Structure 1
């Protein structure tokens, strides 16, 4: 089962309205038609959803049609019925993960997050102190980490909160741009058993102290050596989490990781077997495939399919599955942001048009990076 983060539109908040619900279902079917040329554009979708009288195109054959019976593990059970134009049946999954990252630097207040839309919310990011290998939260941001879980769960007790740890803003930014990072605090920590032990103990204590129920590792650009050491870290991390729960009255912490859209990087792969054993699930970051700061042509930065290359979500997810990573531990990341390029020819607006870098903002990003 491929779990997914959900898309939500405030203008459709009242789904008790019969025409709105019907329109949502009709438009959703148009978006999964087999021929990409038949699918509506974002503007088409917006127009159809906003108006009760807007015309709806005739639905054609879907891109996929699957039927699967419940497996032995009821927690992963999902029945998907064969769908056709003439016979449409819907099923409800009982195990969907609807998660979102909230960035501490965001202008969106924690109190305005609609907790009811999510099963899990992740507060990002805690740093790692290079001198101690322990988690570090800047004093200026501590108030947000202290209030996050209480504010979220004050609205909905069913929501689980996690604390996300990353490689630091500078190293992450350089890695996104494709630049080699000569020093990485996570690389250093991964490579030494005593450093890993200090990090693991600190991560659990910090999560407990700030009221989080899980920990997330957000590191999308490790090198080959890092990936080899990552398996050791996850084995030790899970063992420590299990021991911590056994020796206390607290429930076992959730352990997740954000990963690249494909399982291989450089000449090595993610430690699939260790990830299967130790992670509750992995967040597949299926976006930022093309960036104005890196690419001198325009590109679809979150392409579900790409007939011209293997840089697509479909290709990446199939690679994860072919490597043996279970579908019920993959959570698909969907961006709520896009990018703007400065075009070499303002009249050439096609995908692949020559460009001179970002437009409008420093890095070209437009919208909120909410997953």
Structure 2
């Protein structure tokens, strides 16, 4: 089946592109972004980042103080931030460098309290602009995972509006280019989990953010060990846990494609098969497989496949890759499935794509293929 996959994917992309209103040809400059987690610095120093593959690199993460809502940046962190921006700008002057604020699993969550009052929002906003200018960043990205109630979503909207106003004011006063403002968001604008039922404020997103980084992954994982899953499924014939559902929901909510950037994972999720003879997507499982809490970075997946001589397969229904050997099963995206998703994003008229996370790829194999797959109009 592997040998016919390129043909299947190509036909799929052509059909999709023909059914789309040719929006891709009129998009603003493409976004090819990658988040850079601070903990990968030993394996991937900033000087080793292949900046030719990216238009934007996001340093992850800085977390505001949950009482003052400013940033407590030590001398050592200050040196890291200055080195990060200076190094990347020197390597490639066209690359924009942002820093991402927050991240998953922050305790206590500083955003919910900060966003409730105009005064605390102003303190936070002024602090973000100050950090960006002091350390040479081109902008910032808000990774609030996730506003937990309709009230928090309203506060999120106020925050974005006031942030944009402050960015414009600062740029005018200093005669500098406006800082970029982006946000990492849930795969769908509507929430049925992580709190009460609520929706992102689509109008505030559309009017105030340069774009949103839609996290099109983590649909399945260690929280459900009963069956294997494609954790970044482009399609899912059985549920709404898929990137196509999420992206189309954002479009339907009123956020245009040129404000949407599709998230792509450079890691896989693992399971322990119940029966080694049943090893497709959706097969019975009894627990997590190899890796830390059932997670392997892509470079670890490649090593796992090599070391165990695992069988590599592709699932056309979900547009994903998976490997299996014995009772060990890993679902992930490789260069082939990533190419299909990148082409799909372009055919749908999206702004671009981003990767979580730099340092997880195998010698730039997947990120390089993605960059070359995005077709630039001549």
Q: Which residue of 2 aligns with 1:113?
A: 49
Greater RCO structure (CA 8 Å; 6+ sep): 2
**Cα pair 2:103 2:145 within 8 Å, conserved:** no
Q: Which residue of 2 aligns with 1:292?
A: 222
Greater fraction of residues in strand: 2
**In the aligned structure 1, how far is the partner of 2:64 from the partner of 2:128?**
9
**In the aligned structure 2, how far is the partner of 1:100 from the partner of 1:220?**
18
Q: Which residue of 2 aligns with 1:347?
A: 277
Shift of 1:95: 2.0
RMSD: 2.4
Q: Which residue of 1 aligns with 2:335?
A: none
Per-residue deviation, residues 164-187 of structure 1 (Å, max 9, x unmatched)? 10156544xxxxxxxxxxx42111
Shift of 1:328: 0.7
Greater fraction of residues in helix: 2
Is the counterpart of residue 187 in structure 1 residue 112 in structure 2? yes
Shift of 1:69: 5.9
Where 1:163 maps in the other structure, the secondary structure is strand
One of 261, 271, 285 as aligned partner of 1:331: 261
**Cα pair 1:121 1:159 within 8 Å, conserved:** yes
Structure 1 residues 232 and 147: CA distance shift in structure 2, 3 A: same
Shift of 1:342: 2.1
Is the counterpart of residue 65 in structure 1 residue 43 in structure 2? no
> In the TM superposition, what are the counterparts of 1:1-371 in structure 2 within 5 Å?
30-34=8-12, 62-66=15-19, 68=21, 78=25, 95-106=29-40, 107-137=43-73, 140-167=76-103, 169-171=105-107, 183-224=108-149, 225-266=151-192, 267-367=197-297, 369-370=356-357
**Cα pair 2:28 2:258 within 8 Å, conserved:** no
**In the aligned structure 1, how far is the partner of 2:7 from the partner of 2:36?**
30
**Cα pair 1:99 1:120 within 8 Å, conserved:** yes
Structure 1 residues 118 and 305: CA distance shift in structure 2, 3 A: same
**In the aligned structure 2, how far is the partner of 1:148 from the partner of 1:160?**
12
Q: Which runs of 5+ in 2 are unaligned?
A: 299-355, 359-378
Name the TM-score, length of structure 2 as normaliser.
Answer: 0.71
**Cα pair 1:32 1:63 within 8 Å, conserved:** no
Residues 347-356 or 216-225, more deviating: 347-356
**In the aligned structure 2, how far is the partner of 1:220 from the partner of 1:168?**
6
Structure 1 residues 236 and 160: CA distance shift in structure 2, 3 A: same
Shift of 1:138: 5.3
Structure 1 residues 151 and 344: CA distance shift in structure 2, 3 A: same
**In the aligned structure 2, how far is the partner of 1:259 from the partner of 1:349?**
32
Structure 1 residues 94 and 359: CA distance shift in structure 2, 3 A: same
Q: Which runs of 5+ in 1 are unaligned?
A: 1-25, 35-59, 71-76, 80-92, 172-182
**In the aligned structure 2, how far is the partner of 1:321 from the partner of 1:165?**
25
Where 2:52 maps in the other structure, the secondary structure is helix
Name the TM-score, length of structure 1 as normaliser.
Answer: 0.73
**Cα pair 1:100 1:121 within 8 Å, conserved:** yes
Shift >6 Å, 4+ stretches? none
Structure 1 residues 158 and 167: CA distance shift in structure 2, 3 A: closer
**Cα pair 2:132 2:138 within 8 Å, conserved:** yes
Where 2:63 maps in the other structure, the secondary structure is strand
**In the aligned structure 1, how far is the partner of 2:159 from the partner of 2:36?**
25
Structure 1 residues 102 and 61: CA distance shift in structure 2, 3 A: closer
Where 2:264 maps in the other structure, the secondary structure is coil
Structure 1 residues 270 and 295: CA distance shift in structure 2, 3 A: farther
Residues 348-357 or 159-168, more deviating: 348-357
**In the aligned structure 2, how far is the partner of 1:346 from the partner of 1:286?**
29
